[in-house]
Amino acid sequence: MTIRWDAPLARGVAHELDGRLTGARLRGLVLDADTREARLIFRGVQLLWRLHPERGVVRLLNEEPGTEPALPLRGRLRRVHTPPDERIVRLVFLPERRTQRAVDVVVELLGNQWNLLVVDAASGTVRHVLRTRERGRVLRVGQPYTPPPPSRRVGRDGDLSPEEWEALLVALPATSPESELVRRVAWTSPLNAPSLISLPVAESYALWRRLAGREEPAPTLLETSRGLQPYPAPLPHLPGRPATSLLDAFTEADVGGRDADTAGGVPEALLRRAEAVLDQARRRHTRLVAELDATPDPEALRSTGHLLLAHLHAVPSGAPWVELTDFDGTRRRVELDPTLPPARQAERYFQEAARAERARARLPGLIRAAAAEVARLERCLAQAREGGLSPEGLVAELPPASPSSPQGGAPEESLPYRSYRSSGGLEIRVGRGSRHNDELTFRHASPDDIWLHARHAAGAHVILRWGRRENPPARDLEEAAILAALHSKARGSGTVPVDWTRRKYVRKPRKAPPGAVVPDRVKTLFVTPDPRLPERLSPSR
């Protein structure tokens, strides 16, 4: 079952949610990036958004006993609305206490790039996000939220007169009138355009006004080639039947879609697991291709190393860059590592050149294998949906699942760190011991991530995943510092000083024992160890 979202459907759903949920108290949020599901947990009810391109529904569910939100999020729902002629549903929350911040939950329903974000109402920054990449936009926690470009089609406010509507229809070209109508006129879409074109002008205008929200909606469950389709009005060119509400229509469509999925004998849960494994394989392929694209030219790196050796006397200590005369006589700016002495700068470039060469030799084979795995999983999933592959056969084609890795990946215990998720959605990694501290700091952290350690006390290295030049949000940094204090021998103290810096400013002296490092450019936070914090911060995997 594939739901097609357009502006009239988004507006109709927002209108019903506003009527049913306004004033409800939000308890928390559950985000599952693998299945692309999001649950807003209110008192007594859950709002479920399934945002996978092959199963996009919204449903109100009775809250299951004992359900605990992975991300605590408090607020009282003020209203639900959509911008005119947009496929965006925005839920506006007011804080229940003065210490809380107002947030908006934004659901984007554009094409098959469906997404859900929690945005700070005052600053406009992203606090939580289901998917981080959307058609050229990078949506990251702590970054300002940039909404998609607004609609500029005529009639956004539903204020076209009958004469203007008729003039628009008359002006449509004889070839491809439906696509031209969708391009020019608000509230139209490939789903409703055939009816708007084929009906008499008066009936067409009445239908358009209903789609634009100027008339009372008539919830309908349409029957399309893609399956059952909830819609706020009947469309004459498609068979359908009345529904009591759009949300009830979504429930019926969702149940019907699941029945279709299990018609071949494959349970829905197994199909969803296969979809999650396929998504993981696609992400791996994309990541490998991006890694190859980002691999620098080894010869250029090696040339920079030779240039530094030739001008070693002109390389200053502790500088982030230096300008040198290249071998062809031009002036060239060379980036330096401020933590290394001049004599080591060239060696660093030679080492990076060797790594780049190894990556260029290794990655193409991995990319081919990843592409083949994606194709294999796509075939298996298609066969399972069509009844050509039994549940046992599909299980045999998927990687084995484990309690700590539901999607069949490596168990979490194989990692050198425990993983938590901060209140702002950032990942916090806590080393498991002295040997694992080194591995976490130097193999599982990026240069601009935040490194933390309790001052003058043995304990775990902690990495706050950040990767940006500006400082991370204060609350996330404080939570990472508290975890560093809790995983140190100073955990019993009333106040613990925790040093932090960028990971790139942490170095390991030669022959130093495991876990011993020398940080530079250090700042200090004073925190109170809270033993309840690890329970509140949901593990990221």
Query: What is the model's pLDDT at position 3?
Result: 86
Query: What is the model's pLDDT at position 302?
Result: 92
Q: What is the mean pLDDT of each run of 10 residues along the chain (541 residues)?
A: 88 95 91 82 90 83 58 89 96 87 92 87 89 70 87 93 95 92 95 94 95 92 89 94 93 64 61 82 85 88 91 89 90 88 88 89 90 90 82 78 40 70 87 84 89 91 90 92 91 87 91 86 90 74 41
CA atoms of 165 and 207, how far apart (whole Å): 11
242-259 exposure pattern, b = at least 16 Cβ within 10 A, e = fewer: ebebbbbbbbebbeebbe
Answer whether 230's CB lies under 8 Å from 250's CB: yes
What is 7-138's CATH superfamily? ibrinogen binding protein from staphylococcus aureus domain (2.30.310.10)
Predicted TM-score of the model (pTM): 0.54
Query: What is the model's pLDDT at position 177?
Result: 93
Considering only CA atoms, which of 455, 459, 454, 468 is closest in space to residue 426?
468
Taking the CB of residue 369, how many other CB atoms lie within 10 A of it? Answer: 13
Query: What is the model's pLDDT at position 403?
Result: 38
Query: What is the model's pLDDT at position 265?
Result: 61
Query: What is the model's pLDDT at position 183?
Result: 94
Domain ranges of the chain: 7-138, 162-242, 281-397, 415-536
User: Nearest 5°: phi and psi at 33?
Assistant: -70, -25
Q: Strand, coil or helix: what is 318?
A: coil
